[in-house]
Structures are given as C-alpha cells and as structure tokens.
C-alpha cells in the first residue's frame, strides 16, 4: 500500500513530467516559427549562394546572435569546414549553442569578443561575414581594416544588411581598402556585398 504522502509526491512528479512535454513542444513550435520567418525575410539561401560557400570553408560569422543564420552557414561548409560565431553577448551565444545542438551541428565554435575588435586569429578565414551588424561599429572602416589579416589568401569579407545601411557599409569597405567583387539585392529591402582586399 502506498502511504498518502508518498502517493501525492508521486502524483506531483507525474504531473510535472506530463506537463513538461506540452511546454517543450510549444517551445519547439515557437523555435521553428522563428526560423521559418527568418528564412522568409532574410533569405539565407541567397546569402550562402552569393558568398559562394563550399564544404571545407572556414567562416567567421560576426555578430552571430542566436545563430539563425549561423545554422545555414554551418551546413553549407560541413562536413569538413567550420564556423566561428562571435558576439559581444555571451547570453545569446548560449542560445546559439543550443540551436546548433538541436540541429545536430558540431562544426560551430562560439566566441565572445569586444564590441569594436574582430577577435579573430590571423590567416584563418575564407570568409568573414557581417550580417546586419556593421552599422553598430563606432568606426566600421577601422574594424574592417583590422579584420583583413585574419583572411586566408583569396579570402573575402561580406556585408549583408538593410538597404538603408548600404551606402555607409560600402563607404566603410572602400575606406578599409576593400574591393567590391560581387553584390546582390535579390533579398527585398536588403543587400549582400562581397569584398576582397585584393584588386581585380
């Protein structure tokens, strides 16, 4: 016979277990809805194609936030490539790590960096991607110039942002000595521009 106190403890435990499933399911649905909206509005497929990412590439995803774009970048460079996702906020990078775990991706490393410094090691990256982040820098040209030594030979720096930030972004890239090699505006209200530190 189960004693009353033990019975109620078991009942409470069962209730907690039973009630956690709907909450987890609700979170998963919300998670998927957020990703679907991001994919519709930000068109990561267009970004990936414009960058020309391929398996084996090493990419820095600067200002990666919770990883909504990072997950697509990581898939594009898998299985042998890797992504270093940076942000100034450790909390959002924890959410990014959880997103990568949910997606089964193991080729992403996250890193907290200072607000106005790349925080990237030299001669490592095939692409340094700044997605809707360059307008936050105090001096975008200085930041971009500091990032150039982190590129591999033939490496690229890419900006993608809302169109109203385009003139400022392109001017900063030019001031940093970068050369525009490819651009698309196939995402409504946004642009993707790819630069090289070497002239054509």
Q: Model confidence over 4-45: pLDDT tens digits?
A: 443 333 333 333 334 444 446 555 556 678 889 999 999 999
pTM for the predicted model, two decimal places: 0.85
Domain count along the chain: 2
Query: What pLDDT is recorded for position 32?
Result: 77
| More confident: 2 or 50 | 50
CATH of the domain at 115: 3.40.50.150
Q: Are residues 63 and 125 both part of a single domain?
A: yes
Per the structure, the complete domain to which residue 154 belongs is given by: 43-196
- Checking if the pLDDT of 52 tops 80, the result is yes
Tens digits of residue pLDDT in 86-125: 999 999 999 999 999 999 999 999 999 999 999 999 999 9
Mean pLDDT of the residues in the chain: 88
Q: Are residues 38 and 122 both part of a single domain?
A: no
Q: Are residues 124 and 70 both part of a single domain?
A: yes
Q: Are residues 127 and 162 both part of a single domain?
A: yes
Q: Are residues 2 and 14 both part of a single domain?
A: yes
Tens digits of residue pLDDT in 157-189: 999 999 999 999 999 999 999 999 999 999 999
Q: Are residues 84 and 131 both part of a single domain?
A: yes
Looking at 41-45, 65-69, 158-162, 196-200, which range is the least confident one?
Answer: 196-200
Query: What pLDDT is recorded for position 31?
Result: 67
Q: Are residues 2 and 56 both part of a single domain?
A: no
Ramachandran quadrant class, 56 (left: phi over 0; alpha: psi -120 to 50; beta: rest): left
Q: Are residues 65 and 147 both part of a single domain?
A: yes
Q: Determine the distance from the C-alpha atom of residue 133 to the mean position of all C-alpha atoms in its chain, rounded to a whole number.
A: 11
Query: What pLDDT is recorded for position 24?
Result: 60
Q: Are residues 89 and 113 both part of a single domain?
A: yes
Q: Are residues 13 and 68 both part of a single domain?
A: no
Q: Are residues 180 and 95 both part of a single domain?
A: yes
Q: Are residues 18 and 28 both part of a single domain?
A: yes
CA distance to 28, 33, 62, 176, 185, per residue, from 85 (Å): 23, 23, 6, 22, 24
Residues shown for the chain: 200
């Amino acid at each position: 016979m189960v004693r009353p106190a033990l019975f109620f403890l078991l009942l409470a435990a069962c209730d907690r277990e039973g009630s956690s499933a709907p909450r987890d399911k609700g979170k998963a649905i919300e998670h998927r809805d957020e990703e679907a909206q991001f994919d519709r509005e930000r068109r990561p497929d267009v970004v990936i194609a414009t960058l020309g990412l391929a398996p084996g590439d090493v990419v820095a995803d600067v200002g990666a936030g919770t990883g909504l774009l990072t997950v697509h970048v990581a898939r594009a460079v898998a299985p042998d490539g890797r992504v270093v996702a940076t942000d100034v906020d450790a909390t959002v990078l924890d959410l990014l790590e959880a997103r990568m775990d949910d997606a089964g991706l193991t080729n992403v490393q996250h890193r907290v960096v200072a607000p106005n410094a790349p925080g990237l090691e030299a001669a490592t990256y095939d692409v340094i991607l700044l997605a809707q982040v360059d307008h936050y820098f105090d001096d975008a040209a200085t930041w971009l110039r500091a990032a150039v030594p982190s590129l591999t030979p033939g490496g690229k720096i890419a900006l993608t942002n809302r169109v109203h930030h385009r003139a400022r972004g392109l001017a900063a890239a030019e001031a940093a000595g970068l050369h525009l090699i490819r651009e698309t505006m196939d995402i409504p209200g946004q642009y993707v521009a790819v630069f090289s530190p070497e002239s054509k």
